[in-house]
Amino acid sequence: MAMNEINLTAAMRSNLVSLQSTEVLLNRTQERLATGLKVNSALDNPTNFFAARGHNQRADQLTGLKDNIGEAIQTVKAADKGVKAISSTIEQLRGIVTQARSALSASTSATQLQALDDQYNEVVKQLNNLQSDSTYKGINFLSASASLTVNFNETSSTSLTMTGFSGTASGLAISGGSASGSGTITSANLNSASGLNNIETTLNNAIATLSSEGAKLAANLGILTTRQDFITDMVNTLKEGATKLTAADTNEEGANMLMLQTRQQLGVTSLSLASQAAQSVLRLF
C-alpha cells in the first residue's frame, strides 16, 4: 500500500522554501569564500567566465612566447661574447704584426720571423675555434647560414628574423694564416713590409666588420629585451583582467555569510512557530 504524501500547512511550506533558498545561498557563499572567486563556472556568469578564460589562455600563450624570446636573447648574447673574443684575438694578431715590423727593422733572422709566422697561424686557429664555439642551442650567429625567427604574439603576425655573418678568419677576409694553425702564411707573410701592410689592412677591416655586426646584435638584443618586458606587462594585465571578472570580494561575502546564517536561524524559528498549529492537535488527547 502506497503511503500518502505528507501535507504541510501553507505557513510551514513557505518557511521550508525560504530555508531551502537560504541553504543554496549559503553553499554559494561558502564556495566563494573557499575559492576566492565569485565566478567558478559558466553557470555563475557565462559572460565573465568565458571572457576570463580567454584572458588566461592568451596569457599562457604569451608566457610560452616569452620563454622563446628568453632563449633568443641568450643566443644573441652568446654571439656577442664571440664577437668580443674574436675582436680581442684580432688585437693579438695586430700585436704580432707590430713585432714583425720591429723584427724586419732589426734585420732579425729568418728563424725568428718563422716563429712569428707560427704564432700568427696559431692565433688564427684560435680565432676560428672561437667562431665555432659561439653556439647556443645549435644556433651560431657567427655563421652566415644562421637564421632565427622569434614570434612576438600568439598569431605569429609580429616577429623578428635575425641572420648571422661569417666570423671566421676567411669570412672576415683576414689575410694570411690557416684555419688549422698548421703550415705557413701563404696569401701574405710577415717577412716583408708590403705583406705586413696588407695583413694590417685586412685586420683593420675585420675589426670594422665586427663592430658593425656587433651593433646589429646589440640592436636585436634591445628589441628582444623590450618585447620580453612588454609581454611580461601584457601577461600581468590579462591575468588582472581575468581576476577582476571572476574574483570575489571576501569582505562582502563574509558579511553575506553572517546575514545568511542569521536568516537561516530565523527561518528555523519561523518554521517552529508555524508547526505549533499542528502540535495543538496533540492537546486533544
The terminus-to-terminus CA distance of the chain in angstroms comes to 28
**pLDDT tens, per residue, the chain with 285 residues:** 455 566 666 667 777 777 777 777 777 777 777 777 778 878 778 888 899 899 999 999 999 899 999 999 999 999 999 999 999 999 999 998 888 888 777 666 677 777 888 888 888 889 999 999 999 999 999 999 999 999 999 888 999 999 999 999 889 988 765 544 433 344 446 667 777 888 888 899 999 999 999 999 999 999 999 999 999 999 999 999 988 888 777 777 778 777 877 777 777 777 676 666 666 655 655
pLDDT in tens, 119-157: 888 888 899 999 999 999 999 999 999 999 999 998 889
What's residue 3's pLDDT?
A: 55
Distance in angstroms (rounded) separating the CA atoms of residues 272 and 166:
91
Q: List Cβ neighbours of 205 (8 Å cut-off, separation of 6 or more).
A: 172, 173
Q: List Cβ neighbours of 190 (8 Å cut-off, separation of 6 or more).
A: 96, 97, 100, 103, 113, 116, 117, 120, 176, 196, 199
Distance in angstroms (rounded) separating the CA atoms of residues 47 and 139:
45
Q: List Cβ neighbours of 89 (8 Å cut-off, separation of 6 or more).
A: 123, 126, 127, 130
Residue 248 is given by DSSP the state -
Q: Which three cell numbers stand for residue 179?
A: 684555419
CB atoms inside a 10 Å sphere around CB 220: 23
What's residue 273's pLDDT?
A: 66
What's residue 196's pLDDT?
A: 82
H or E element in which residue 161 lies: strand 159-163
Q: Which three cell numbers stand for residue 139?
A: 644556433
The model carries a pTM of: 0.73
Cα-Cα-Cα-Cα torsion 52, 53, 59, 63, nearest 10 degrees, comes to: 150
With 0-12 CB in 10 A as exposed, 13-18 as middle and 19+ as buried, what is 169? Answer: buried
- State the residue for C-alpha cell 715590423: 101
Nearest to 94 by CA among 177, 16, 214: 177
Which residues share a beta bridge with 149? Answer: 161
pLDDT in tens, 215-257: 999 999 999 999 999 999 999 999 999 888 887 777 777 787 7
What's residue 157's pLDDT?
A: 92
Backbone angles phi, psi at 274, to 5 degrees: -65, -30
